[in-house]
Structure 1
Amino acid sequence: MRISQLEGQRVALWGWGREGRAAYRALRARDDQPSAVVERPGFGMTSHSAVESRDSEGQGTLPLTLFCAGHEAEQVLALGDPALQVETEASAERLAAFDVVIKSPGISPYRPEAVAARERGTRFIGGTALWFAERPDARTICVTGTKGKSTTTALLAHLLRAGGHRTALCGNIGLPLLELIDGDAELWAIELSSYQTRDVAASGVRPDVAVVTNVFPEHLDWHGSEQRYIDDKLALLTQARPRVAVLNADDPRLAALSLPDSDVRWFGRADGWHMRGDALHRGDAFVLDTRDVPVPGRHNRGNLCAVLAAIEALGFDGAALAPHAASFRPLPHRLQVLGVRDGITWVNDSISTTPHASLAALDVFRDRRVALLAGGHDRGLDWAGFAEAMKARAPMAIVTMGQNGPRIGELLAPIARSAGFTLQGATDLADAVGRARAVLAGEGVMLLSPGAPSFGPYRDYTERGRHFAELAGFDPQAISGIPGLGIA
């Protein structure tokens, strides 16, 4: 759906985070187009709505209703937009009063009120769908996956820029697409969460390349079930029908897919880009030693295979660009080594929101004395696999915290006794840090890799990571910038 197609329709925004604000600005930026706004008796717009907002040239402003949290309403009203009505309760009845609701990604379309409104004819779309519809000629490389998608997207943009290509780095990584709706880029490296992948299909525009790093259960509270999460994540392939699909050959769910409308390129296979230990190969040809690539963990360096396969899918020379990975700047909150304080190395992996991610983080520091801080918002993920792994490769200590901390602790308790690691429960992150510091006694690694979202005490993983840095004695703002966002 093009933004111009919203004219004459009843339109609402749902959510006032960064994506919601970007959608609002994009809509208002298009209000210089001729408008066909008409008054709709009984629609319920307040007296300051835009049905009367027309300038001397006969142009108008699209009336909007914004559903947002109560504490955001005053901030929104301060904008002084006479065409914007603010409401704080997005009930099924109110949502059903609109033809189109532009929804922020964090709001699940499977919420009962959204389902009820959809059954009554309301169409829900996101900013990603709007951007793709507005920019159908853009050369896009969409990257998703349960783990590694941010690093993969950023590394892709880095190498493309090193090759002289003007490239946008945007999407879920921290810069909404709609903030760059008029951006001038040759190539678009776009990170997509599972909240956004169906949006690409909804736009009706096929991506040039889609990269999927892996798929395993996450965000079950948003998607409602493991299968729905998988279906939503893979919609980038099965419904958006990219021209080229770059897939991880080691992932069984990806290996089982049939994609007749896409040219499938595999990474992690001996006939393509793959790792042999720390050595990067293209088929039988050695390309480089990835130990010089400044991203932590072999699993992260393995994402370079996905990046180079995508670069080749675009028609460029991956082997020629691969050495530029050595100048890549790692992303914050992803196995980020903050530094050493009082003999302890502090590692911020706040973006870790699954047990699989925590296991991968522990593997990076498997030869060190490690105290792991685990737990957060409970969205029903199964920690049994993590617990089983602790029988053979447990850290020195695990301190649980957050909403699911007691559940994790209960699962680990019998294993801790037999495997010989320290297990403690903490009330919050500060308490967890204090307990882990005491166990390490001035030597080892303090690893925040919680395997769970931050919701509750923190707005997002960034805020949690900043608090961890502050507790360690580092500048919380200095550690958080994402290098390379935007167009360069």
Structure 2
Amino acid sequence: MKSIVCRRSCGNACVRNSLPDSAPFVISSLDGRKVALWGWGREGRAAYRAIRAKLPQLALTLFCNADEAADAKAIDDALLSVETETTAGRLAAFDFVVKSPGISPYRAEAVDACTQGTHFIGGTALWFGEHAGVDGFVDNAVCVTGTKGKSTTTSLLAHLLRAGGHATALVGNIGVPLLEVLDAQPTPDYWAIELSSYQTGDVAASGARPEIAVALNIFPEHLDWHGSHERYMADKLRLLTEAKPRIAVLNGNDPILSALVLPESEVRWFGRADGWHLRGDVLYRGQQRVMDTGSLPLPGRHNRGNLCAVLTAIEALGLDAAVLAPHAAGFKPLPHRLQTVGTRDGVTYVNDSISTTPHASLAALDVFRDRRVALLVGGHDRGLPWEDFAAAMRVSAPLAIITMGQNGPRIFELLKPVARQGGFHLGAAADLADAMRQAQAVLAGEGVLLLSPGAPSFGAYKDYVARGRHFAELAGFDPDSISAIPGLGVTG
């Protein structure tokens, strides 16, 4: 027998039940236990359906908000109880709580319940447990994580694999919960799985091991969920340090990743001279020139650099990456990621609403460094530092920066002395519409109006998609035409 130990929510080892020494945690392990669901978004609903399909007689309790409660009760499941108040005491009444990824396990009620023995697990863990082979590995599963670029990288991976004739699932944090494709038929040849920092630990908790894990970069992010920069890094790296993939594909230019020691994984580097890397815009495999990437639909050098990560992963799967590389020319860029919405009255509108860190805003500015740019920054304040961004503006600033949102005043004050020295226009706006009006006035009919806020959308908008759609609408374009992510799910 082995104990179920949770170290994610608190520093203690939280042990309540034992499972057979079989290895990965599967849905049937919940049979006969007291089980709750926490959250009723798309991930929560997927977890409910997956558990109910395999354990139709298992009593479940759902913790959710009042709006979600009405939807859940409409299912008319006599074995599903719905509660709208989530306390440590109620959570502690359960052996297992299947938690939606957006809910932090570091919340006080979760930490308290964990110390009393409740084990928190996510849908990602259940999927990996169900798909592990006898050796514990999930074959042909490529997990992609990183602070910046993971969605584009995962989508590009799926695109190239499909171009090679392989049925590939594009799933995970990108928009299709893993449990929605738990029993996908026919089984895809490969799984391209995007994992957020909210989900990487779930892979480790599953007891399963991915065949390949790709790590692009590590910057400060999601500090409100993780609690600190150090904890964010530790959680992000659990995909490598605890899930122990068969092959780890790492960015050789990232100082945090370069310092990792992974004795149980084979490490393959990208961005280094002996592997897939760029020299200017030219793609190389070692000393072999492969192709020029300058015309590829991958805006920004960082995205072209991530092509090197994709090709390294494809090579790790045993496929000919050099043959598939030219198919990147047919890739369709994802919405809300350096997305050109259109040009009107001499101004090109670029939607980078997915940008939630100052580093992402800097990368966006680099794409348009030779253009007249008015940059819109600011949003929900998670306490991320903007000092590096301000320092960069001393060297290479756009024509104008307009701040907005909850952390807008903090960014504005930080940039005021820089603007005086650097000669760029600095404005403060009440909201997105006001910011766009100010930016349009500065551009005066020529240049790029770039939404790359470097902060989440919470408060003003439901999510970054809603923010990007509003940006397009305010610019005079159809928001429905910019929002679809191509290729989600399982396709050939």
Does TM-score exceed 0.5, indicating one fold? yes
Amino acid at match of 1:266: W
1:266-288 alpha-carbon deviations (Å, 9 max, x no partner): 00000110000000000111101
Task: Report what 2:442 is aligned to.
Answer: 439
Q: Is 2:81 the partner of 1:85?
A: yes
Where does residue 168 of structure 1 map in the other structure?
A: 169
Q: Which residue of structure 1 lines up, in the alignment, with residue 7 of structure 2?
A: none
- The corresponding residue for 1:39 is none
* Paired amino acid for 1:73: A
- The equivalent residue for 1:9 is 33
- Measure the CA separation in 2 of the matches of 1:320 and 1:468: 39
Shift of 1:180: 0.2
Residue 73 of structure 1 pairs with residue 73 of structure 2: no
SS in 1 for 2:267: strand
Where does residue 292 of structure 2 map in the other structure?
A: 289
When normalised by structure 1's length, the TM-score is 0.93
Q: Distance in 2 between matches of 1:458 and 1:105?
A: 19
Structure 2 residues not aligned, in runs of 5+: 1-24
Amino acid at match of 2:79: A
Query: Aligned partners of 1:86 and 1:21: how far apart in 2?
Result: 13
The match for 1:122 is 118
In structure 2, the residue matched to 1:146 is 147
Match of 2:54 in 1: 30
1:481 aligned to 480, 484, 488, which one? 484
Aligned pairs (5 A) from 1:420-439: 420-439=423-442
Structure 2: distance between partners of 1:460 and 1:360: 21
CA distance in 2, matches of 1:92, 1:308: 46
Give the residue type in structure 2 aligned to 1:158.
Answer: H
Q: Deviations over 1:331-374 (max 9, x none)?
A: 00000001101111000000000000000000000111111010
- 1:243-262 to 2 correspondences below 5 Å: 243-262=246-265
- What is the aligned residue count? 460
Residue 61 of structure 1: how far off its partner (Å): 2.2
Aligned residue for 1:242, secondary structure, equals: coil
Offset at residue 292 of structure 1 (A): 2.4
Find the counterpart in structure 1 of residue 460 from structure 2: 457
User: Which residue number corresponds to residue 100 of structure 2?
Assistant: 104
Distance 1:399 1:70 in 2: 37
Q: Secondary structure at the match of 2:350?
A: strand
Structure 1 regions of 5+ residues with no counterpart?
Answer: 32-59
After superposition, the CA RMSD in angstroms is 0.8
Q: Deviations over 1:23-56 (max 9, x none)?
A: 111112223xxxxxxxxxxxxxxxxxxxxxxxxx
Letter of the aligned partner of 2:83 in structure 1? Answer: E
Q: Are 1:373 and 2:369 counterparts?
A: no
The amino acid of 2:160's aligned partner reads L
- Tell me the alpha carbon deviations over residues 139-184 of structure 1, each in whole angstroms, 9 at most, x when there is no partner: 2000000011111100001111111111110000111000000011
Moved over 6 A (4+): none
Mapped pair 1:214 → 2:217: yes
1:64 aligns with 2:44: no
Counterpart in 1 of 2:196? 193
Task: Name the counterpart of 1:51.
Answer: none
Equivalent residue number for residue 21 of structure 1? 45
Q: How many angstroms apart in 2 are the aligned matches of 1:411 and 1:315? A: 49
Please give the secondary structure, in 2, of the residue aligned with 1:207.
Answer: strand
3-state secondary structure, aligned to 1:90? coil
**Shift in Å, 1:203:** 0.7
Q: What amino acid sits opposite 2:31 in the alignment?
A: E
